[in-house]
Structure 1
């Protein structure tokens, strides 16, 4: 257990975590100052990593060693390698950092007590008490720096974010790959945001999520798709169906012609180049999902299908009631999104309550028995297809309208759009290819000026 780590082991694990996964450095920097590390060699390595980050340079053991030597210190390669070998994972780095910080405060408290004892032996009691009170308040203030952000620090964090957006290093959000959905979201899925995609079973949640995942992987960066309901073969069949035009059920169970085999092989060749990663095991806790996410370099999006199959991190909740179970999982997923600084798209299955409504379109009230999902989410997206409730006479292989309803948007307005859903080949496409028409329909304004451009 991390709580049982000795002080020097904990700080070694902090530095080792930075070496094996530099992406954890921002989280460490919020918790630790270099002077919180007891060993000078560890302070030197930590300072070098911070210096590289502030200089917007890559962070790896070779560059850290070079930076240490540039600053006039000596760092043995064997020590660096030892730190990396003895750190099993960077996943627990925040726990290591908190242990290190706690022991740093204890050292400072010991020093304060020793100094007060010496001063009390010869100094004026009133002056000693005043000095002790002043030092104690300062030490107490330092003890909560990891929990409080000063106004100037908060503004600096915002300006750093704004600079990254202005310089093209960060868009602040990840496009879904669907212009119409991005319009109602305000640009895309916010980095560090948790988004709920909810609907009745069979409405098309997994199909839309897979389509979004592939579009993000093709255009933005790698995607981790956590499937807790379907086997990998079923997911791949849906993806191949979309590209080949061969129904997914035939790809899984039917006899294919030579021409269809050729189409299947061509689609598979394209998918092989798309950086979409799928979990191997059928079950996972949020902690395990985060560990997988940290293994994917340059990850842009995490998709979880679906929330009802996720196990909470704390075993004490596994025998609890459904509401507490979902509340725990929801909180863990939100924390994961903030920790990874990535959008997390979470699929959720709605109960039958919406089917008893006159208007069967889902409402936020249909999420009320799912713990804190609605409260934790930055956005709640519902799917609705009229043909789901009135399937008679609907051609099986023709696209049908799918309504995408943004019912909650923490950072902007709500709204809806319509896409074309092809169930047989697991494909979701835009109904209109004219971005200007889509924008006019959503914003209900006069025609946009000629210079306005929106990505299709």
Structure 2
């Protein structure tokens, strides 16, 4: 490595050498280092390789001392024996104190992040000079990469059980005293809220259905209901435009036929209702984003700009990009699913993610109700999700169904409680779901539109 290169990039040779020297003197230092330091954090590539060899020895419970490390370094071809012997001896002799190994590791990790920032700045500079992309895309790329460094820096310490128990008891006490504030996020669909106890913070909730059954409409109805509670909702739609989403929300709230938004043939009363609903919805904190082919990293970058956040909705998973090269689409969707769950935990809010179903349920004989295995390109979705819900309308397969407006919401997975099928009323004209009202010998109708 050239001296000029060492002079330019942020690094600490003393800290890197002290880490390796500490491990040679007392291998138990690795207990603290393994949670902080990775081989790629070292600026001197050969030092990183030595650390990797010692880490492997530690993981396999091999004896670690001057002689065994020397043997591994030479066998791996990192240094010749004479040079390795002198280098390792100097490192071990120069260690100020093995008790400070974790502090040395933090120095090395910080220098590594500084070098990454410099690399990102170089990428941003190059993209700006090239002028081959829109400015907003460059800004999103820059923000995403910088926050990626911050995400990887987070390292939660282990918590003793008694501490977790105290926190759990405190939360239950708060829920008992003020359910509205501390319980799960209420969707205003009473049976759904009863089974799930609301959407829990950091939960990944999956809503799936065959095309045309209304999963987007249900997600928008939930967003509207939560927004009207004064909560902040972020909706990422990779399929519909912001204008289409706004039209649906307005139609659902005002009770005006969605088709009339395309023809403009509204009555005087309908114009009044539209104006009143617009005024009400405009006061909510619902944010829309219709950027196509978005990655989770890009979503997180945009979410960080919001002043508050209570619910994230993504429509839908299979249209997202993983942002990395993968061998198959199933692997990509699995990576997206894991990233969505991590996003829910990071922002500590529920994420409602929509998903497509395969045609497997339609090919089955008899009962056509979907199963978790019907999730398209499912991968690890079933494992990552805290709750899985399926929309099903028996009228599609059974023309003699007495209640075509009665939709089943099948809660097929509930990590926090029982599974159950609840019912919703569907109004196709308004693309609206509402609480199901069972009436003897009558077709159930949706609840009336909320007052404006």
Deviations 1:357-410 (A, max 9, x none): 21111111212741111110000001111223356899xxx9810111110011
Q: Secondary structure at the match of 1:316?
A: coil
CA 234–391 in structure 1, closer or farther in 2 if over 3 Å, else same: farther
Deviations 1:8-30 (A, max 9, x none): 9xxxxxxxxxxxxxxxxxxxxxx
For 1:353 and 1:254, the matched residues in 2 are separated by 41
Give 1:298 deviation, angstroms: 2.3
Q: Secondary structure at the match of 1:198?
A: strand
For 2:294 and 2:275, the matched residues in 1 are separated by 31
For 1:362 and 1:171, the matched residues in 2 are separated by 33
For 2:252 and 2:263, the matched residues in 1 are separated by 16
Q: Which among 409, 433, 436 is matched to residue 431 of structure 1?
A: 436
Give 1:259 deviation, angstroms: 3.2
Please name the residue that 2:194 is paired with: 183
Q: Which among 225, 232, 249 is matched to residue 222 of structure 1?
A: 232
Aligned 1:180-259 pairs, distance under 5 A: 180-185=191-196, 187-259=197-269
**Are 2:300 and 1:293 aligned?**
no
Q: Secondary structure at the match of 1:299?
A: coil
CA 221–433 in structure 1, closer or farther in 2 if over 3 Å, else same: farther
CA 114–157 in structure 1, closer or farther in 2 if over 3 Å, else same: farther
**Are 2:337 and 1:361 aligned?**
no
Q: Secondary structure at the match of 1:189?
A: coil
Aligned 1:41-120 pairs, distance under 5 A: 117=93
Give 1:177 deviation, angstroms: 1.6
CA 7–285 in structure 1, closer or farther in 2 if over 3 Å, else same: farther
Please name the residue that 2:395 is paired with: 387
Contact 2:240–2:290 (CA<8 Å) still a contact in 1?
A: no
Give 1:261 deviation, angstroms: 2.4
For 1:368 and 1:227, the matched residues in 2 are separated by 18
Aligned 1:242-391 pairs, distance under 5 A: 242-312=252-322, 314-317=323-326, 320-357=327-364, 358-367=366-375, 369-390=377-398
Contact 2:356–2:376 (CA<8 Å) still a contact in 1?
A: no
For 2:102 and 2:165, the matched residues in 1 are separated by 23
TM-score (norm 1): 0.61
**Are 2:423 and 1:418 aligned?**
yes
Q: Secondary structure at the match of 2:334?
A: helix
Give 1:161 deviation, angstroms: 4.2
Q: Which runs of 5+ in 1 are unaligned?
A: 9-96, 121-130, 435-456
For 1:116 and 1:156, the matched residues in 2 are separated by 44
Q: Secondary structure at the match of 2:321?
A: coil
Deviations 1:95-142 (A, max 9, x none): xx989xx79xx9xx9xxx99973799xxxxxxxxxx96xx48988999
Contact 1:175–1:189 (CA<8 Å) still a contact in 2?
A: yes
For 1:220 and 1:275, the matched residues in 2 are separated by 7
The count of residues paired between Structure 1 and Structure 2 equals 316
Please name the residue that 2:83 is paired with: none
Aligned 1:85-164 pairs, distance under 5 A: 117=93, 135=99, 146=156, 148-155=158-165, 157-159=167-169, 161-162=171-172
